[in-house]
Amino acid sequence: MVRVPQAARDTAESLRKAPNSVVSGAPRRRRESLTVPAPPALPLLPEGPLKRSIWVFITAMWYKIIMHEYSTQELMIIAAARQIADGERIFVGMRLPITAYGVARLTHAPNAVGLFESGVARYEPADGMLYTMCDGPNQLGAAWTTGLIQIMGLLSGGRVHAGFIGGAEVDKFGNINTSYIGDIDNPKVKLPGSGGAPDIAAMAERLVIIINHQKHRLVEKVDFITSPGFLDGGDARKKAGLPGGGPAMLITDRATLQPYGPDNEFHLASIHPGHTLEEVVGNTGWDLKSMPNVTETPPPTEAEMDALHHIDKEGFWRS
């Protein structure tokens, strides 16, 4: 086991306590107003390979902590929150979208209503961090605590404006797989299944998909359609009699994609800061085309980050 010199530990501790540090959890200012100090010197470290190795590690951590005022997950949360309009009823889903709903409520959508498959409807964000929809704070102070049938019935009544869904695979037409990888009769992997996702995908006015941007996840054609997007593209969804509008946005850790053209195929809409077109295309499992005006995903505003940190007080999504 390598023994880290005390000087290195002291330096790491000073970084942890520094103002605007991700590790310390202190509020971080926007890039244009951030005064960046120089990396600390490590004069007490011994000469040789160990010193260089520790210096590289400390410097890399310094740049990660000081130079970036939001994490990839936080940018995805903000991008998801921007998909929620004021006054809308939203099927929130799990994990990232739970926080995204709270950010939207605290910023541009103060009258949005959050719906959860667990039988909960909320006006205000929960007073406590939620990791799943069934966590205790989600019931406390809820506007309505009822059953699965009553909540899901809002979909068939045409009362849900948007829903958030993740998955193991999504294809170029927005079909989502959370059931099987490989042949259904002899699958390589058996996934958790559908839950209420097919209902949300079929009947919400629009669908927002959140998934990591990897070639084995963004595929030409999913192995199994658990939750329908535009099926085979074009007007196939309408011909199948699905009442909802279908996918409207795909948010990944590298970019955002939107359906475009008569085929309703996902096209590149924006690239997240720090990523490139070549990287995004290279990690997509189909021949990804671009919208007419591809932009950089706008970084979070100070108000959006303040709202996010009000909800995520412990910094769960900051790493």
Instruction: Provide the 3-class DSSP secondary structure of residue 94.
Output: coil
Structural domains in the chain plus CATH codes:
6-67 (no CATH), 73-311 (3.40.1080.10)
Strand partners of residue 169:
177
* CA 54 to chain centroid: 33
Q: Please give the pLDDT value at position 2.
A: 39
Supply 278's token pair: 């070549």
pLDDT at 1: 39
- Any catalytic annotation for residue 304? no
12 CB neighbour count, 10 Å cutoff: 18
Neighbours of 140 (CB within 10 A): 11
Q: Are strands 265-271 and 176-177 parallel, antiparallel or unpaired?
A: unpaired
Instruction: Kindly give the confidence (pLDDT) of every residue in the chain, 319 residues in length, as a single tens digit, with 9 standing for 90 and above.
Output: 334 445 444 544 443 444 433 333 333 333 333 344 444 444 444 566 666 566 556 655 554 444 458 999 999 999 999 999 999 999 998 889 989 999 999 999 999 999 998 889 999 888 777 777 777 677 878 889 899 999 999 999 999 999 999 999 999 999 999 999 999 999 999 999 998 999 999 999 999 999 999 999 999 999 999 999 999 999 999 999 999 999 999 999 999 999 999 999 999 999 999 999 999 999 999 999 999 999 999 999 999 999 999 988 888 888 6
- Torsion, Cα 45 49 54 60, to 10 degrees, reads 130
Q: Please give the single-letter amino acid code of residue 158.
A: G
- What single-letter DSSP state applies at residue 283? T
* Amino acid in the structure at residue 216: H
Is the full-model pTM beyond 0.85? no
Gap between the Cα atoms of 204 and 90, Å rounded: 9
Query: DSSP class of residue 227?
Result: B
Catalytic residue among 88, 117, 265, 304: 117
The reported pLDDT for the residue numbered 316 is: 81
238 token code pair: 């309408």
pLDDT at 4: 43
Pairwise CA distance, residues 25 & 178, whole Å: 35
Q: Quick check: 247 and 202 in contact, CB under 8 A?
A: no
Give the number of other Cβ atoms within 10 Å of residue 193's Cβ.
Answer: 11
pLDDT of residue 61: 56
